[in-house]
Amino acid sequence: MFQQFALEHAWLIPLLPAISFVIIGMLIRSYGKASAALAVLMSLISFCLAVGVATGVVDYGITVEAPFVQKVSWLHVGSLELAMGVLVDPLTAMMLIVVTTVSLLVQIYSVGYMKGDPGYGRFFAYLSLFAASMLGLVLAVNFLQMYVFWELVGLCSYLLIGFYYYKVSAREAAKKAFITTRVGDFGLLLGILLLQINFGTLDFLELGQIIPMYIASAGTGMLTFIALLIFIGPIGKSGQFPLHVWLPDAMEGPTPVSALIHAATMVVAGVYLVGRAYFLFSQLPTVMSVIAWLGAFTAFFAASIAFTQHAIKRILAYSTVSQLGYMMLALGVGSLTASFFHLMTHAFFKALLFLCAGAVMHAMHDEADIFKMRGLRHKMPVTFVCMTIGVLAIAGIPPFAGFFSKDAILAAAAEVSMPLYIMATLTAFMTAFYMSRLLFVTFFGMPADERTYSHAHETGWFMRLPLIVLAGLAVISGLWGHEFGFGEWVRFGMPVEEGIDPVIAISSTVLSIIAIMAAWHIYVTKPYLSDTMAEKTGVLYKLSFNKFYIDEIYACLIKYVVDGTAKVLYWFDVNIVDGIINMLAAIVGGISRRLGKLENGQAQSYAAVFICGVIVLAAYGFFYSQRILAVLGGAL
């Protein structure tokens, strides 16, 4: 009964947080506790509905081939018809569960984390708006609806990164995030428009039927172009190289925001979009290899930066970029299942890691540098355990969640291309290393600063509860997905048989363990080793520490290209445009100076001009208008 209700009222899932946003934003923003309670309550109901939808999908046998769709007409302009509605299939159901779970947990966490902040109510309003937008995006039935919510989550991201708007760095980061993702969104918009022009519809299901026929008759040229344009959107939103620069800076926002938006949900919107439009991408081998290689490169590249960063959240941010690259890689090699499996497990363990980082920073008075923390395991045992689970999960140690999903991706990559597999494995090794570095430096060793260390304390229950729940999910979600038959539901085309390739699994596990041991050796047993290594690797270390100077390159590009163009245009404006204007003004001025001499105040001159006018009129009447003469003559 409840499943039936949940399915038919799936539109309530995004609507409830939206209502909560309106109520908090308009009415009770200044009552912090009421705002938080309302937001959490609405999230809870959304979560329950999402669970209902998910179980309904399983019980009623709704598959990707036979989704549950509800549509209402939204816009009707000429021949253009746009619908809005909900599309429920296993993909959607999985995303709903992930988004509502993380959103609910993060909101509960925020109750404790944001305590005493002057913008308490505002924060929950934004979180609600974000949840509504993200859920709407997930449920979209066509590209346009998705685009609308796509932009809305971008807006929420902007608002939340800039939440501490009185900090210059937060403002800058918010602008950077918004503008960078806008670059991608523009490509996406162009792609959507081209789709509408070529096919006359944006509906996912209709397009899914038209496109294979279109390819059979007209080839892939145009579609490749469209798909590449659409893919620019995910490049921006999911922080793929070269538009990844905004994501690390986005860590200026409050930590729960980083966990929710910049780790678990919004940034995977790009992955979701590619998965949703897989009927398009899977037909185009060129685009697929672009996606795969870009994903693999991003994964490797971001991991190499994460190696040397000091700020805890930045490490996690680069790790997120890297893991998103993983998901893209999986999509590119044709395994939607592996990608979405990793999406789900990553959402849980990365949210866990961020929330742990938040707890640590909370305890350390917002200290972000991991080398100034150290030895916290005695002070914060719960956080320590949760963090350890998160690190083991992301490192891919069985039986934690990351092991299964990462293994699925590696297996899929190995089937398609050896270089991609090697790159992915290498990235996995690096991931294990830098994550354990983060863990060991933060929680082991001797305290760096006695005073802050003595003040450090375990967090309150509001913050501890989500940690424990997420830790539980990080442990079981992989195994559960594996046993439950994730690939039978979330897939594209044929059901995927879940199996673990022993060679791949063992080799990656062994590599991860080696990496963790190496990190232990370098950062705990012989702490001085890290500095020596930094000196020895010299250039490489510097490159990595400075994020390969990507930001500087962009700054340079802007300086020389944009400023140069601006200078040229400025010259043009000053000399050509203004020149024309000034010339016109000079001409008019000259004419008026000459005409002004006619205005000499002599009544006789005026009379002469007046008489001349009369003469001209009379002559005109005489030579050109015989009618006037006829009228005059008729009177005589």
Partner 1 sequence: MTDIFYSLVFYLIALVIIASALGVVMEKNLVHSALLMTACFIGVGMLYIYLDAEFLGAAQFMLYSGGVAILAVMAVMLIKHGDEGPRDGGNGRALRAIAVASAFALVIGMIITALPYAPAGYISQDNVSELAEMMLTEYVLPFEIAAILLLSALIGAIILAKGDGEA
Partner 2 sequence: MTVGLTHCLLLAAVLFAIGLYGLLSKKSIIAVLMSIELMLNAVNINFIAFNRFTNVSDLTGQLMAIFSIAVGVAEVAVGLALAYRMFHEHGTVNVDELNNMKG
Which are the contacts of 375, defined by CB distance < 8 A and separation ≥ 6? 443, 444, 445, 446, 447, 453
Q: How far apart are CA 351 and CA 88, in angstroms?
A: 25
Q: Say if CB 142 and CB 284 are below 8 A apart.
A: no
| Residue 591 in the binding site for partner 2 (CB under 8 A) | no
Out of partner 1, partner 2, none, what residue 558 binds, judged by CB under 5 to 8 A for its kind, is none
| Other CB atoms within 10 A of residue 510 CB | 11
Helix (H/G/I), strand (E/B), else coil: 426 = helix
Q: Which does 601 bind (CB under 5 to 8 A by kind): partner 2, partner 1, none?
A: partner 2
Kindly provide the b/e burial profile for residues 386-424, where b requires at least 16 CB atoms within 10 angstroms of the residue's own CB: bbbbbbbbbbbbbebbbbbbbbbbbbbbbebbeebbebb
Which residue number, 286 or 600, has a Cβ lying nearer to partner 2?
600
Cα 92 to Cα 135: distance, rounded to the nearest angstrom:
9
Site for partner 1 (CB under 8 A): which residue of 79, 604, 624, 627? 604
Which range of residues in 76-84, 165-173, 495-503, 594-602 is near partner 2 by CB under 8 A?
594-602
The reply on whether position 631 binds partner 1 by CB under 8 A is no
The two tokens of residue 435 are 């994550």
Which residue in 488, 608, 624, 625 binds partner 1 (CB under 8 A)? 608
- How far is residue 560's CA from residue 359's CA, in Å, rounded to a whole number? 43
Q: Could you say whether residue 618 binds partner 1 (CB under 8 A)?
A: yes
Question: At closest approach, how far in Å is the CB of 613 from partner 2?
Answer: 14
Work out whether 636 is an interface residue with partner 1 (CB under 8 A).
yes
Which residue among 600, 616, 625, 626 contacts partner 2 (CB under 8 A)? 600
Residue 566's binding partner out of partner 2, partner 1, none, with CB under 5 to 8 Å set by partner kind: none
633 binds partner 1, rule: CB under 8 A: yes
**How far is residue 547's CA from residue 17's CA, in Å, rounded to a whole number?**
37
Of positions 77, 418, 446, 636, contacts partner 2 by CB under 8 A: 636
Residue 614 contact among partner 1, partner 2, none, beta carbon within 5 to 8 Å by kind: partner 1
DSSP 495: P
Q: List phi, psi (to 5°) of 114.
A: -90, 10
The whole-angstrom separation of Cα 167 and Cα 170 is: 5
Please pick, from the candidates 611, 618, 628, 631, the single residue that binds partner 2 as defined by CB under 8 A.
Answer: 611
Is residue 583 a contact residue for partner 1 (CB under 8 A)? Answer: no
615 touches which of partner 2, partner 1, none (CB within 5 to 8 A by kind)? partner 1
State the Cα–Cα distance between residues 446 and 566, nearest whole angstrom: 54
Could you tell me which of 285, 286, 283, 288 has the C-alpha nearest to residue 216?
283
Beta partners for 142? Answer: 203
**Which partner from the list partner 2, partner 1, none does 30 bind, CB cut-off 5 to 8 Å by kind?**
none
Q: Which is nearer to partner 1, 41 or 612 (CB)?
A: 612
The DSSP secondary-structure symbol of 492 reads: S
Choose between 569 and 608: whose C-beta lies nearer to partner 1. 608
Contact between 619 and partner 1 (CB under 8 A)? yes
Residue partners of 109: CB distance under 8 A and separation at least 6? 256, 259, 355, 358, 462, 463, 466, 467
- Residue 581 or 614 having the CB closest to partner 2: 614
Q: What length is written for the chain?
A: 636
Stretch that binds partner 1, among 122-130, 216-224, 458-466, 610-618 (CB under 8 A): 610-618
Can residue 222 be called a binding residue for partner 1 (CB under 8 A)? no
Binding region for partner 1 (CB under 8 A): 604, 608, 611-612, 614-615, 618-619, 621-622, 629-630, 632-633, 636
Binding region for partner 2 (CB under 8 A): 596, 599-604, 606-608, 611, 636
